[in-house]
Structure 1
Amino acid sequence: MPQQWQVHQRITNASRQSPEALVNLELRDVPKPVPGPKETLVRIHAVALNARDLLVLTSSPLYPVPTSAGLVPCSDAAGIVEELGTDSVWKAGDRVILHPNTWLNGRDERGFDITKAFGAGTVAGTLTEYMVIGDERLIKVPEHLSLEEGSVLPTAGSTACHSLFFVPEQPVGDGTWVLVQGTGGVSTIAIQLAAAAGATVIATSSSDEKLALSKQLGAHHTINYRHTPNWEEEVMKMTDGKGVDFVLDVGGAGTIEHSLGSLRQGGIVSIVGILTPAKEIDIVPAILYGAKTVRGQLGSSKTMSEELVRRVDADKIRPVIAKTFEWREAKDAFELLMNQSEVGKIVVKGVTAGSA
């Protein structure tokens, strides 16, 4: 029978970085689903993990949607169309990315419903052998990418694309300065996208080795924040005292003051993660007297994902994969994700991905 990983709350008080929470993840046999009209049956060949998946696994209060018993986790995947429902526009054998939410068109964030996204609440996710999905939520994988690389695009890639090209009044491009924190999945593809668009990119990390990789991906300047804890001062030197136009902030409370200190007047910080511990801060003066904008980045529309795929295809961008795990090693993949130490994305192969 087909298989899927499910979340069963054996431990409910574990932190998102506690390996003991892995007992909540169980492999189960399930019936093979059947596609209905204008639907396809996709065999999943690769699933990319996100920090959100740890919040779901541990039923963390940091995530606003409670985890239901038996939930299939994860939101990001790429696979191959295997069967078609009546009137489907796809073909058997098509390589596809699964758009993970119901927000299909445009840039108005009110189109995103967090309760209807894959892999949270009661909505089954992608860590499964087969998925039935509506035709309108599939996107072709660029030909130059593997299915593992394609699986990185739905959340990490689309979040970066949304932030860089759909948020600013003047999208990132020639003449703009962009600061990207870290070297995780969103950060690495953001560096690639921004550099390909013509922006000057500053990358920050705690590791010189990771910063060297950031340079290879297209970063023009790098800052090790362990050596330079007040890194906003270094940013100001690099930009002749003006500051950057845009910051992609993955840390949250622990980094937002530095991010605001790096911005030019009227600049934008997009918060895409909460990787640092909570702390009391007062950012109002920096926002008010700098006419600066801080916005949360939550979800992306299919329109944005299609723009991402267009840019990835045109610039032949290859998402960075830190490590790939076999299907039955999913718990090991989650444990590595807990360490927050990898460059790029962690990917779990599908049941039969080895033959794809």
Structure 2
Amino acid sequence: MKAWQLTGFGLDHLVLNDIPKPEPGPDEVLVRVSAVSLNYRDKLLCDGKYNPHLELPITQVADAVGEVVALGTGVTRFRPGDRVVTNYCTRWIDGQPTSKETLYSLGNTLPGALAEFLALTEDALAAAPAYLTDEEAAALPCAALTAWYALVEKGQLHAGQTVLIQGTGGVSLFGLQIAAALGATVIVTSSSDEKLARVKALGATHTINYSRTPNWENEALALTGKQGVDHILEVVGGKNLAQSIEALKPGGQISIIGILDGFDSTIALFSLIKKQAVLRGISVGPRRALEDMLRKFDELKLRPFIDSVYAFNDARAAYDRLEKGAFGKIVIRVRD
């Protein structure tokens, strides 16, 4: 079968190879992959920053949708013909994290889904919503679950609260979508007026251009009558985290998701203490939360924002688009 494999670090080492078609082992299913979507994590893996000890070559990409075509012994959750999506943390089924969940993720320690077929334990899969296209279903597993787990599962978001979303990447747009659908007031920050106009049309209540307003936390406070926001999806990291704390309502929550501005941060501990703020690191979520989210998406008929769709043979162009920045999810169609 054909598979896009990373043979060394750097996009030049992402190559289309012929490799043996996998066979499902005990408790595994064989999935014929229909489509995959890219995440910022895929760029970090390709660049050697996510796992510098990656064992190469390895098939790339974690988020996928496909059709079950064969079963290993002992499989009870799926039948041939079922349409399924992958769960990013393949061994995190439910319960509290143990810090080892992300060690068992596709395209990292396990062969990924940017291939014609994928063999995976049935516990790492969830039923895909019937109302979504393959491209839309492939866009959900990592980014949507991260936003859902941060805001709904851990944050207990409810109508009437205020959510501040940073940027317009995959997690951020899902955060906007989820928060608006659940009745929250949403503030979005970006350096692009064009993107801010688009998120306003998609349900954002307020927008802040942080290139013109570098002290964006003051604007966020002004927009909330100096009360501050209830939830922040922190995707920037670095010095931006200190600004997020200043923008927060007392007792508010910051979900730390991204590291765009660096892996380290210096914050004012007194501000954190005075506000009794909650800072929580978020690394996707368990399969049970994914299934909860998919049911809610089905109920609300939410559809992800797709930036662009590429053919399987054009996977490198999709990675180029990821490098340049996208508005919504980048999808690669594996089969027609």
State TM-score, norm by structure 1.
0.89
Deviation (angstroms), 1:204: 1.1
Q: C-alpha offsets along residues 246-273 of structure 1, whole Å, 9 cap, x if unaligned?
A: 1001111142122111101121111111
Which amino acid is the alignment partner of residue 207 of structure 1?
Answer: S
Q: What is the rounded CA distance, in whole Å, between the counterparts of 1:330 and 1:347 in structure 2?
A: 9
Is the CA contact 2:93–2:123 (under 8 Å) kept in the aligned structure 1?
no
Label 1:111 to 1:277 Cα distance change in 2 as closer, same or farther (>3 A). closer
Deviation (angstroms), 1:136: 2.1
* Aligned residue in 1 for 2:14: 25
Deviation (angstroms), 1:106: 3.2
Asked whether 1:247 is paired with 2:227, we answer no
Is the CA contact 1:235–1:243 (under 8 Å) kept in the aligned structure 2?
yes
Q: What is the rounded CA distance, in whole Å, between the counterparts of 1:127 and 1:208 in structure 2?
A: 34
Deviation (angstroms), 1:157: 0.7
Q: What is the rounded CA distance, in whole Å, between the counterparts of 1:107 and 1:244 in structure 2?
A: 28
* Aligned residue in 1 for 2:56: 69
* Aligned residue in 2 for 1:128: 115
Is the CA contact 1:102–1:112 (under 8 Å) kept in the aligned structure 2?
no
Deviation (angstroms), 1:322: 0.7
Aligned identity (percent) is: 38
Deviation (angstroms), 1:320: 0.8
Label 1:5 to 1:64 Cα distance change in 2 as closer, same or farther (>3 A). closer
* Aligned residue in 2 for 1:5: 4
SS of 1:163's equivalent in the other structure is: helix
Q: What is the rounded CA distance, in whole Å, between the counterparts of 2:100 and 2:198 in structure 1?
A: 33
Asked whether 1:305 is paired with 2:290, we answer yes
Deviation (angstroms), 1:279: 6.9
Which amino acid is the alignment partner of residue 31 of structure 2?
Answer: V
Which amino acid is the alignment partner of residue 7 of structure 1?
Answer: L
SS of 2:111's equivalent in the other structure is: coil
2:48 to 47, 51, 59: 59
* Aligned residue in 2 for 1:288: 273
SS of 1:179's equivalent in the other structure is: strand
Q: What is the rounded CA distance, in whole Å, between the counterparts of 2:75 and 2:100 in structure 1?
A: 25
SS of 1:166's equivalent in the other structure is: helix
Deviation (angstroms), 1:299: 2.8
1:231 to 216, 222, 232: 216
Label 1:278 to 1:115 Cα distance change in 2 as closer, same or farther (>3 A). closer
Asked whether 1:185 is paired with 2:170, we answer yes
Q: What is the rounded CA distance, in whole Å, between the counterparts of 2:32 and 2:285 in structure 1?
A: 23
Q: What is the rounded CA distance, in whole Å, between the counterparts of 1:6 and 1:152 in structure 2?
A: 20
* Aligned residue in 2 for 1:342: 326
1:259 to 227, 232, 244: 244
Q: What is the rounded CA distance, in whole Å, between the counterparts of 2:74 and 2:200 in structure 1?
A: 47
Q: What is the rounded CA distance, in whole Å, between the counterparts of 1:106 and 1:115 in structure 2?
A: 16
Q: What is the rounded CA distance, in whole Å, between the counterparts of 1:310 and 1:104 in structure 2?
A: 19
Listed as ranges, the gaps of 5+ residues in structure 1 are 13-20
Label 1:125 to 1:305 Cα distance change in 2 as closer, same or farther (>3 A). same
Mapping 1:163-182, distance limit 5 Å: 163-168=150-155, 171-182=156-167
Aligned length: 335
Deviation (angstroms), 1:87: 4.4
1:47 to 14, 31, 36: 36
Asked whether 1:88 is paired with 2:88, we answer no
Q: What is the rounded CA distance, in whole Å, between the counterparts of 1:91 and 1:177 in structure 2?
A: 43
Is the CA contact 2:93–2:124 (under 8 Å) kept in the aligned structure 1?
no
Deviation (angstroms), 1:293: 2.0
1:158 to 139, 145, 154: 145
Deviation (angstroms), 1:54: 1.4
* Aligned residue in 2 for 1:16: none
Is the CA contact 1:179–1:247 (under 8 Å) kept in the aligned structure 2?
yes
SS of 1:109's equivalent in the other structure is: coil
Label 1:111 to 1:274 Cα distance change in 2 as closer, same or farther (>3 A). closer
SS of 2:238's equivalent in the other structure is: helix
Q: Aligned-residue CA RMSD in angstroms?
A: 1.7
Deviation (angstroms), 1:39: 2.2
Listed as ranges, the gaps of 5+ residues in structure 2 are none
Deviation (angstroms), 1:230: 1.1
Is the CA contact 1:271–1:294 (under 8 Å) kept in the aligned structure 2?
yes
**More displaced, 149-158 or 287-296?**
287-296
2:27 to 31, 38, 43: 38
SS of 1:331's equivalent in the other structure is: helix
Asked whether 1:209 is paired with 2:194, we answer yes
Q: What is the rounded CA distance, in whole Å, between the counterparts of 1:287 and 1:64 in structure 2?
A: 31
Q: C-alpha offsets along residues 107-147 of structure 1, whole Å, 9 cap, x if unaligned?
A: 41227522211111x32111111011222222111122111
Is the CA contact 1:4–1:28 (under 8 Å) kept in the aligned structure 2?
yes
2:127 to 140, 144, 168: 140
Is the CA contact 1:101–1:112 (under 8 Å) kept in the aligned structure 2?
no
1:116 to 104, 116, 127: 104
Deviation (angstroms), 1:92: 2.1
Which amino acid is the alignment partner of residue 4 of structure 2?
Answer: W
Q: C-alpha offsets along residues 195-229 of structure 1, whole Å, 9 cap, x if unaligned?
A: 11111111111112211221232211111112221
Deviation (angstroms), 1:192: 0.8
State TM-score, norm by structure 2.
0.94
